[in-house]
Structure 1
Amino acid sequence: MRTGEGHAALMDGVYRGQRHIYDLTRKYYLLGRDRLIDELAPPVGGKVLEVGCGTGRNLIAAARCWPGARFYGIDISEEMLKTARASIARAGLERRVRVAQGDATGFDPNALFRAESFDRIFQSYTLSMIPDWQGAMREAVRHLSAQGALHIVDFGQQEGMPPWFRAALFGWLARFHVAPRALLIEAAREVANDAGGRLSATRLYRGYAWSLRLDKRPR
C-alpha cells in the first residue's frame, strides 16, 4: 500500500464514525477558523481551494462570506467527503462549492475541477494531521495564481499557556493522530522564500494557534 493510500485508510478509519459529530465537537478548540475565512478576500470571480476540507464546514462558511467567488475542496478521506457533499447540498451551494478526493501532497486541480490555479488556498488545522506537512505547503503554493495567497491556521506550541495545559492538549490530540508542528513558521518561511513570496505570521490566543499568510508575490 502506498503512503497516500495508507493515510487515506487511516483517516477513513478515524472519521467513519466521528464525521457525524465532528463539527459539534471541534468548534470548541479549532480556534481561528472564522478569522481566516474573514481574511480570505478573494477577487470577484476568483477561485478558492480548501486543502483538507473535511465536513465542508469551512467551505460553506466561506462561500456565504464571499458570494462573488467559487469554492473547491479536497480531502483524503472519502468518509469525510460524504458529510461534506450532504452539507453543501443542504446549504444550497452545489453550484458554487465542489469537493473531490485528493492528497494534499500531490493533486491535479485540472483533473479534479478543470481549474488551472487558485487565487486563494487555505489549510485549516490540516498540517498537524498530514505526515508530509511541508510537502503539503509546497504543493499548495505550486497551485496558486500569480497573485495568489495561501492562508494557514493550525495549533501553536501553547507558549502562553500553563505547562499542564500544553501536556494535556498534546496528549489528547495525539489520540487522533494530530501533532502540532513546532517548526511550522520556519518551514513556511522557507517555502515562501523558495517561491519568491512573502510570509506574515501571527500568534493567536497566547500561542494556542498560529495564523499564517503566504503571498506568492510580495504585496
Structure 2
Amino acid sequence: MSVADGTHAELMDGVYRYQRHVYDLTRKFYLLGRDRLIGGLDVPARGTVLELGCGTGRNLVHAAKAFPRARFHGLDISAEMLETASVAIGRRDLSARVGLAQGDASDFDAETLFGLPGFDRVFVSYALSMIPDWRRTVAAALDAVNDGGSLHIVDFGAQERLPGWFKASLRAWLAKFHVSPRDSLREVLESECRRVGASLEFETLYRGYAVRAVLTKR
C-alpha cells in the first residue's frame, strides 16, 4: 500500500479496534438492504465472488451459506477487521471456501491477492461511503468483474424523501465514524457503465435512506 493507503488503514484500524467486537450487533439496525443485495447475487455454480470492504466478514458468511457451490474472497484495508472476519469464517467452517486479503479497494491486483484475474460477482456493501477515493473504487471493482458478470452495490442514499431534520442528524452522526453518503453515486455509476459497456439497475430504498445498484457487463 502507498503512504496514503497506509494512513487510511491506520485510521480504520483505530476506528474499529474495539468497535469490531460489537459491529454486527449494532449495524444491523441501520445498514439496510445488505441481505437484499446478497439475495440478488445469483451466483452461478462454481462461481467466484469478491467483496470489497468486507469488514467483519458478516456478508461473506451469509453469502457463502446462500450459495454453497461458490467460492468467496474478501478484501479490506483494516487488519483489525480482517482478524474478526477470519474468526467468524473459521467458526462456521467456511475457511476452505472463503479467502481474505488486506489491501486498498481503490487499487488492488486480484491476480496477486487471490490468484484470479476476475470474478463472476463483485459486491460492495456500505463501504463506498467510507473510502476516500470511492470513484476509483467503483472503477476498480467493475474492472474486476468478468465479462457477463456483475457488480452489486448497497450504501447510504441521498435521503431525499426523508424529513430534513432526519437527514441532517443522520449525516452528522455518520460523520463521527468517517462515513459520508455519496450523493453523486448514480452519475458515477452511469459514467462507468458507459466506459465498459455495462448496463445499470439503480434502485432507491426506504425513501432514499439507501440505494442499491447492479452493474452488469455484457
- The normalised TM-score by structure 1 is 0.98
Amino acid paired to 1:85: S
Give 1:56 deviation, angstroms.
0.1
Give 1:184 deviation, angstroms.
0.5
Matches of 1:177 and 1:116 in 2, distance apart? 32
Report the equivalent of 1:101. 102
Report the equivalent of 1:28. 29
Amino acid paired to 1:163: G
Report the equivalent of 1:71. 72
Written as runs of structure 1 = structure 2, the 5 A alignment for 1:1-219 is: 2-217=3-218
Matches of 2:104 and 2:128 in 1, distance apart? 12
Give 1:213 deviation, angstroms.
0.4
Give 1:160 deviation, angstroms.
1.5
Using the TM superposition, name which of 110-119 and 48-57 deviates more.
Answer: 110-119
**Partner of 2:208: helix, strand, or coil?**
coil
Matches of 2:122 and 2:210 in 1, distance apart? 19
How many pairs were matched up?
217
CA RMSD of aligned residues (A): 0.8
Matches of 2:202 and 2:114 in 1, distance apart? 30
* Percent identity (aligned): 55
Amino acid paired to 1:176: F
Matches of 2:4 and 2:68 in 1, distance apart? 37
* Unaligned segments of structure 2, at least 5 residues: none
**Partner of 1:203: helix, strand, or coil?**
strand
Give 1:112 deviation, angstroms.
1.2
Deviating beyond 6 angstroms after TM superposition, the runs of 4 or more aligned structure 1 residues are: none
Amino acid paired to 2:202: A
Amino acid paired to 2:81: M
Give 1:3 deviation, angstroms.
1.3
Give 1:116 deviation, angstroms.
1.4
Give 1:193 deviation, angstroms.
0.7
**Partner of 2:207: helix, strand, or coil?**
coil
